[in-house]
Structure 1
Amino acid sequence: MNAGGTSAASGADAALPRIVVGYTANESGADALALATRLATASEAQLDVVMVLPSEARSSTVPTDVGYERHLKARSREWLTEASAKLDAEVAQSLHVRYAESFAEGLIAAAHEFGSSLIVVGAARGGILGRSRIGSVASELLHSSDVPVALAPSGSRELAASVGVSRITAALGSRPGAGVLLDVAVRLTKSLRAPLRLLSLVPIDLPSGMDEGLAELTSTAHADEVLAAAKAALPPGVVTTAVVATGDTIEAAVRSLDWHEGEIVLVASSRLATPSHLFLGSTASKMLRELPVPMIVVPRSTGKAAS
């Protein structure tokens, strides 16, 4: 690493798509690194492993002693080197230390700097194994980032990188943002070369008290429509299926579905999000509590994706 706090490992290729992974030297950081590695391997992307340290502006909480700053930077380099040693030698990677007012702010700035298509972070510590618990960093990212954010569930580090991405499930409703999400899902499917499952959330989006027959007809029509649109946009031979959510609640619908090892879920930002930014809505929040697989949240009105 140079004085600016950046080090590029050999093999890094600026022509590759890039994924930023927010790294911390704990289990959450290991989970984020594991998920990012799987995504990078499947899409042949470069990993930018980023540690964010408090900026000098936070002098009220960070000692200004030069010796302390030198020690903190040196320790961060050691942690990054240890993380790098765990990565597959074939994964292009760069290691970076950045300073920012917050961890989330540093990751967003890094994603802009590198032109990254995705930010990956781990769940907060203390969550249920296989589930995602949103901590302060993930919460800030999921309510402000203009780059898609992937949240690695607790225990993701236990899944071998060779598993790759076994399937992509895109959760589509009838509200604004569904079209953007479908476009992103198609591009991600091409990039990761994985089967695509379209999950229609229309039954749960429909007004309560709606005639059951009409609700079923509306749901089936929506599933058929998005399936046809996806098949038209994907290369021949890509396996594409559509399912309709069942259950009285989002949580029940998630529990009723089968989930593959190595699967990822795409959801759109809330309609309350400002254009081109994330805002984790109530539907996605409810899904997140039940999902046993990683979730990627896509900004509203944007075409960016991990591709």
Structure 2
Amino acid sequence: MTYVVGYGPRNDDRSALELAFQFARSHPEPVVAVSVVPQGWGTPLAGGVDREYEEWAAGEGQRSAELAVADFAHHPRLPAEAVWVTGRSVPATLIEQATARDAALIVVGSAEEAEPGRVRLTSKTDRLVHSSPVPVAIAPRSYRTTSGITRVTIGFRDDDASWSLVDRVAGIARDSSARMRLITFLVDPARRPVTTDVSHAQAQVIDAWTTQANAAQAEAVAHLQSSGFTDDEVEHGISAAPDWSTAVSSVGWTDGDVLVVGSSSTHRLAQVFLGSSASKILRNAPVPVIVVPGAGT
């Protein structure tokens, strides 16, 4: 297996490589930096123009591969390879490369406009996470770490997709010798600050959400323990807040954490649909996020 990294020509942020090597430190597999450059028209009418374009693209690819190799120097003794390929679509080409190389993950960086330490999808990575048959890991902008993967946090919703996600992520955690944490985010924009009154009906709804979440998490923890996880290897909690930023940030994050979200179980294209809750969690995450495709229906 491999970790396939989307490494763009003239890349000015090595965050995706940093994240891929972090996975490689925890579960050793080769890192393959793949630079996708534009493909020529391939028509007789293009003639010399097409050849010049292909030569330019080849030069871009070669330079990008050389930059990736230079970045490998930050991670000595970890196996890595840099390649460049041509393609009409960057997401489709990365998926082809991941399939051909038996990738455990496709790893990409965040958009250039993202704040340092934050995850933001580009139009290309957005298409990638909605179409990839393998998990896609997204590094925050300017991400750097010397840690391995020490804890894997799941956004747990107590639905079919979340239960499937628990079993799949358990494998990732075992491979990385990482702890697991289940967090249920209860976000109610109508909630008032604690210094003001909360209606009786609203308080009942919040209490019902919390009770249901506690019961589901206890069941999930018992399931993980029955499959071999110890008490020390499983954490769980509920984060209730009036907004997603507060809910996500308040659970506490440390170096070595990654967050995992899955697809929406209510959408008929569950395998390729990133639900609204997962999207909001992703946008507010201060750590790398892994998007795991669902099984579909």
TM-score, L = length of structure 1: 0.82
Match of 2:193 in 1: none
Cα shift at 1:137:
1.2
Contact kept? 2:39, 2:86, Cα under 8 Å: yes
2:259–2:287 contact (8 Å) kept in structure 1: yes
User: Judging changes above 3 Å, is the alpha-carbon distance between structure 1 residues 298 and 85 closer, same or farther for their aligned structure 2 residues?
Assistant: same
Aligned residue among 187, 199, 202 for 2:171 = 187
Any idea what the Cα deviations from partners look like across 1:272-300, whole Å, max 9, x if unmatched?
2635x332221111112211111101001
Q: Secondary structure at the match of 2:126?
A: helix
Give CA deviations for 1:80-126 in whole Å, capped at 9, x if unaligned. Answer: 13312322232222222222211111101111111112111111111
The answer to whether 1:19 aligns with 2:14 is no
Q: 1:9 — aligned with what?
A: none
SS at match of 2:167: helix
Query: Secondary structure of the residue that 1:56 maps to in structure 2?
Result: coil
Alpha carbons of 1:93 and 1:193: their partners in 2 closer, same or farther (altered >3 Å)? same
**2:114 — aligned with what?**
127
Q: How does 1:1-307 map to 2 (within 5 A)?
A: 17-24=1-8, 25-28=10-13, 30-57=14-41, 64-87=49-72, 88-156=75-143, 159-160=144-145, 162-201=146-185, 203-204=186-187, 211-236=205-230, 239-271=233-265, 272=267, 274=269, 277-301=271-295
Q: Unaligned 5+ residue runs, structure 2?
A: 189-200
Contact 1:186–1:234 under 8 Å retained in 2: no
Would you say the 8 A contact 1:143–1:280 is kept in 2? yes
2-side partners of 1:105 and 1:212: how far apart? Answer: 43
Assess, with a 3 A threshold, how the Cα gap between structure 1 residues 186 and 172 changes in structure 2: closer, same or farther: same
Tell me, in whole angstroms, the C-alpha distance in 1 between the residues paired with 2:230 and 2:158.
27
Cα distance between partner residues in 1 of 2:173 and 2:114: 29
Q: What amino acid does structure 2 have at the position aligned with 1:268?
A: G
Q: How many residues align?
A: 277
Report the residue type matching 2:273 in the other structure.
F
Q: Distance in 2 between matches of 1:130 and 1:290?
A: 10
String of CA shifts for 1:104-156, please: whole Å, max 9, x gaps: 11101111111112111111111111111211111111222111111111011
Counterpart code for 2:225: K
Q: 1:18·1:45 contact (CA, 8 Å) conserved in 2? A: yes
What is the SS of the residue equivalent to 1:145?
Answer: coil
CA contact (8 A) 1:18 1:47 kept: yes
**Residues 226, 163 of structure 1: alpha-carbon distance in 2 compared, 3 angstrom cutoff:** same
2: CA distance between counterparts of 1:58 and 1:186? 46
**RMSD, aligned CA:** 2.5
In structure 2, distance between residues paired with 1:134 and 1:253? 20
Percentage of identical aligned residues: 28
Distance 2:252 2:42 in 1: 46
Query: Is residue 42–residue 50 contact of structure 2 (8 Å, CA) maintained in 1?
Result: no
